[in-house]
Amino acid sequence: MDKMKRRFSKNPLTPELCELVKPLIQVLPAGRGTVLRWLGGVNSDASLWQDKKQYRTFYDRAIDAYICADVADFSGRLHYFTGRHQDRQNQYVIKKYLRQGDTFVDIGSNVGVHTILAAQIVGASGQVYAFEPQKKLVEIIQAQLVINKLKNVHLYWMGLGDERSELVLSNPLDFNTGTATFRPIVESEQHIDRVQVERGEDILPDLSESRVLIKIDVEGFEFRVLKGLEKLLSSQKIALLVEVTDTWLRELGSSASEVHCLLKSYGFRPYLIEKAGFGSYRFEESTSALNHQHDVLFVKPEFLSSISS
């Protein structure tokens, strides 16, 4: 099986084969990514996909929107051929807790899947603020906002942190935009950009009276982002969806424990997001930070009570 996957991963016919099998992959109730991996469509050489058909637009039923996928990128290719985004637990949280008129802040928007989903949920009376430091991804988001006729999104080409600065954004895996980071990277082959970084509370308007859900996924820079949002963290009707990776946080001088301690000091309660069955998740209150990568929903009681009010 491994030999077959390696053979397909470098086969110039792999893109055509994956396209041919795509309708069958997308009707599978489970294992879509596994089948695509067998066909060589997951770990295949990015150069196989870099042609005039590199960007493909398709309809994602899970978020009821059109997506422009870069199939030369790992996550874009997986999204396009399986028909659904791999980060489904975050979609679940957004659908469960956002309401019309709410505010969503997407820090580390990547290609904007969560931005688009949230913009549709909060509607014309709500607002979405999306921050992404990779220029080509900002351009993809802009195109998707036009395609989906979304006018309630404020899109910023920048990173967020605890101080205004210009930082080096490195990507050790140029075929996967989701690995771009401000952490120091030692790999010899990497894509590097210099990007503007601002404090979130210097850019965002006063959201103290709004119901706010913030998603933060910035590859180890999460603690710095939170330190630049401390005024907003004092608000009552607020929840945060944070990817926490202790190893990456430590590379930038913080830790998973520091993230938990900081947010607990502002009255947030941490909940781990656990899979509970097909398409469903449950929330288990966390007693301490974990060493492995995990998504945490940090919630203030006032945010939850405001849902039913």
pLDDT of residue 171: 82
Q: How confident is the model at residue 5 (pLDDT cuts 50, 70, 90)?
A: very low
Over residues 158-203, the pLDDT tens digits come to: 999 999 999 999 886 667 888 889 998 766 556 778 999 999 999 9
CA distances for 165 relative to 137, 151, 194, angstroms: 21, 29, 10
* Cβ 45 vs Cβ 10: under 8 Å: yes
The rounded distance, in Å, linking the Cα atoms of 98 and 82 is 26
Residue 107's SS3 state is strand
Domains of the chain (ranges; CATH) run 2-82 (no CATH), 88-308 (3.40.50.150)
8 pLDDT more than 60: no
Q: How confident is the model at residue 4 (pLDDT cuts 50, 70, 90)?
A: very low
1 pLDDT more than 50: no
